[in-house]
Chain A
Amino acid sequence: MAKNVDPLETMPVSRYAGLTRWGLRLIFAFLMLFLYLPIVFMVAFSFDASQTPSFPIQGPTLHWYDVMINNRQLLSAVGNTISVSLIVAVLATIIGTMAAFVLVRGRLRYPNGVRIAFTMPIMVPGVLIGISLLIFFSRAVHANLSLMTVIAGQLVVTVPFVVLIVASRLQSFDRKLEWAAADLGASPRRTLRHVVLPLIAPAILAGALICITLSIDEFVITWFTVGNQLTLPTYIYTKIKFGVTPEVNAVATVMLVATLLIFGIASVVLGRGRRRLPGRRRRAAIPPA
């Protein structure tokens, strides 16, 4: 602490500085308790012998994991959820990235209006999107509700995320790099492939990951647009209605661990990739020609 003291830090401080510091630490500790208590309970009850998530705790068991593995309905719901989320993520990423290019670089008539239009599906509560889609599918176009309508509904809320995230990255993108590539003889296609896409890849990846996480846990729109099939959230909902959730808690625990692993691996891989690429700061240090 004694080394390299900022001269500003030696200013006389308020009598309450210590108190503030401890108060803020306490608030942070309370936050952690508040955020993690439900997760701890969810995980704990997946190992508890009791049928319903309530006290007293009856003792540890792996029974519900066994039930989970043998529950066909649950497994098909998980399968549906995973395939829907992958399809949604791939489609939303492609559609959204294409639109982001036009939003930033094309000469759209009303770019700000388009921006608000793409913000709306994110901000308008899901229940209203779900209900309007239900009316639209069942009373206007008479479409059969199925996983296809679920995918369509989820695309409405995921594409805007990709558009906005990729557009924001494109906006901060230095176009001189592209002109340099063209100057050196690269065709537009090559420039896109070797210069533009690698530089906006983190944004595209972030968009895709957000799509997957949103889609896997999407309940409201799915609930209104799904037919006979079950997805994991709709299955969980029907179980919660009856108050019996141990094997659902087990699935949620497995999925939480899986997500943590995927994100852990992704961040390690990305971290390495980022270190190899020249950082934005270093690029800015080169004086413009």
Chain B
Amino acid sequence: MTAEVVGGVDVAPPTVASRGRTARLRELAPFLPAGLLLGVLFFVPLAVMFIFSLWTTNANLDIVPTWNLDNYAQFFQTGAYVRTLAKTVAMGAAVTTICLLFSLAVAYFLARYISRRWARVALLVIIVPFWSSYLLRVYSWQAILGEKGALNQVLMGLGLISEPSRLFVYNDIGTFIVLTYVYLPFAILVLYASLERFDYTQLTAAQDLGASPSRAFRYILLPQIRPGLITAAIFVFIPILGEFLTPSMVGGASGLLIANLIQTFFKNALVPQGAALGLLIVAFVTVLLIIFRKYLRVEDVYARG
């Protein structure tokens, strides 16, 4: 493309060849603040954390530069740590599954059974709880699930149980319920976006050709919304790997997850051990992000809110 000059103004975008090195630097200059910010305050701290993870602590909890992978090896050799990691992954998988099922039903209802206008209002109503304090919303669950909580009152009032149950909170069930509560809206937003774009006459066509409704749903609808399902799963699963507040508030002693373990390491001044575990999670998340990079439309999830 050659740059035509009309009245002294470039009509078509200039080509790379028409620009020198200084012009290219000038072009990239606006990127610098963000690039520096990301580099200095995100990647460099992770690199520093990696260096610490190779060091160790002596008996006085001073950090000694030893340069080995012992902290990583020690993590995998300690049964309790590996069990916590496995439990976190299982919890993440369970919450992700229930969120996908629940949000598929809700998003399908919004996309198919009510008008687009009201669906948007409903989505807004689903997001509004996010505009108030995360900590207090999670804390409020104690008043609902606790021994003297609303759920027990209701169940006793209905005569289903005779005395308050401690089953709902300060254990894995409490963590499961509250984590579902926290991440469900993200899954709904993502799935609604894919279900809204779906052409429902395809389902009718499939049924016209003899498919049962459930078969049409399974073989026509589900494959087409798979990107949405994967995106939703990532947006629920990955944050759970770093959840330490919800487990510490409603999980009790038995409901703690891997991020609580990291926090405990740091509280006890075991910086290298905590750094190693933290980096294991960062590495895991990074691998997931690279594998699923196609599906990560962050802006689609948040820009609706």
A and B from one complex: yes
* Interface, chain A (partner B; CB < 8 A): 8, 11, 14, 16, 21, 23-25, 27-28, 31-32, 34-39, 41-42, 45, 53-55, 95-96, 98-99, 101-103, 106-108, 112, 115-129, 131-136, 139-140, 152-153, 155-156, 159-161, 163-165, 167-168, 175, 179, 182-183, 185, 203, 206, 210, 213, 217, 219-220, 232-233, 236-237, 240, 245, 248-249, 252, 255-256, 259-260, 263
Chain B residues positioned under 8 Å from A139 (CB to CB): 48, 52, 271
Q: Is the CB of B10 within 8 A of A164?
A: no
Confirm or deny: B173 has a beta carbon within 8 angstroms of a beta carbon on chain A.
Answer: no
Chain B residues positioned under 8 Å from A260 (CB to CB): 128, 131
The CA of A8 and the CA of B150, in the complex, are separated in Å by: 47
Q: Is the CB of A135 within 8 A of B271?
A: yes
Q: Is the CB of A31 within 8 A of B108?
A: no
- Tier of interface size on chain B: 35 or more
Contact for B42 among A131, A156, A237, CB less than 8 A: A156
Q: Is the CB of B263 within 8 A of A42?
A: no
* Minimum CB distance partner of B41 in chain A: A156
- Distance to closest chain B CB from A289 (angstroms): 13
Q: Is the CB of B7 within 8 A of A95?
A: no
Chain B residues positioned under 8 Å from A165 (CB to CB): 299, 302-303
Chain A residues positioned under 8 Å from B222 (CB to CB): none
Contact for B106 among A16, A27, A167, CB less than 8 A: A27
What are 20 A-B interface contacts by the 8 Å CB criterion?
Answer: A8-B204, A14-B212, A27-B102, A35-B185, A45-B143, A53-B142, A107-B27, A108-B28, A129-B45, A131-B262, A139-B52, A153-B41, A155-B37, A183-B9, A185-B9, A210-B303, A217-B132, A255-B132, A256-B131, A260-B128
- Distance to closest chain A CB from B158 (angstroms): 16
The CA of A96 and the CA of B142, in the complex, are separated in Å by: 39
The CA of A51 and the CA of B185, in the complex, are separated in Å by: 31
Q: Is the CB of B31 within 8 A of A99?
A: yes
* Minimum CB distance partner of A251 in chain B: B133
The CA of A55 and the CA of B149, in the complex, are separated in Å by: 7
Contacts A37-B144, A153-B41, A183-B6 given; does A245 touch B136 at CB 8 Å: yes
- Distance to closest chain A CB from B227 (angstroms): 16
Chain A residues positioned under 8 Å from B45 (CB to CB): 129, 132-133, 135-136, 140
- Distance to closest chain B CB from A7 (angstroms): 10
Tally inter-chain residue pairs, CB-CB below 8 A: 271
Contact for B108 among A24, A132, A249, CB less than 8 A: A24
The CA of A220 and the CA of B243, in the complex, are separated in Å by: 10
Q: Is the CB of B298 within 8 A of A99?
A: no
**Interface residues as binary, B48-63 with A (CB distance below 8 Å gives 1, 0 otherwise):** 1100100000000000
- Interface of chain B, main secondary structure: helix
Chain B residues positioned under 8 Å from A153 (CB to CB): 41
- Distance to closest chain B CB from A32 (angstroms): 7
Confirm or deny: B34 has a beta carbon within 8 angstroms of a beta carbon on chain A.
Answer: yes
- Distance to closest chain B CB from A177 (angstroms): 13
Chain A residues positioned under 8 Å from B281 (CB to CB): 125, 128
Confirm or deny: B153 has a beta carbon within 8 angstroms of a beta carbon on chain A.
Answer: yes
Name the residue among B49, B146, B184 with the largest chain A CB count within 10 angstroms.
B49
Q: Which residues of chain B (223-239) have a CB below 8 Å from chain A?
A: 234, 238-239
Which 10 pairs show the lowest CB-CB distances between chains A and B? Answer: A125-B242, A99-B34, A98-B30, A136-B45, A38-B140, A132-B45, A102-B31, A24-B109, A256-B132, A259-B131
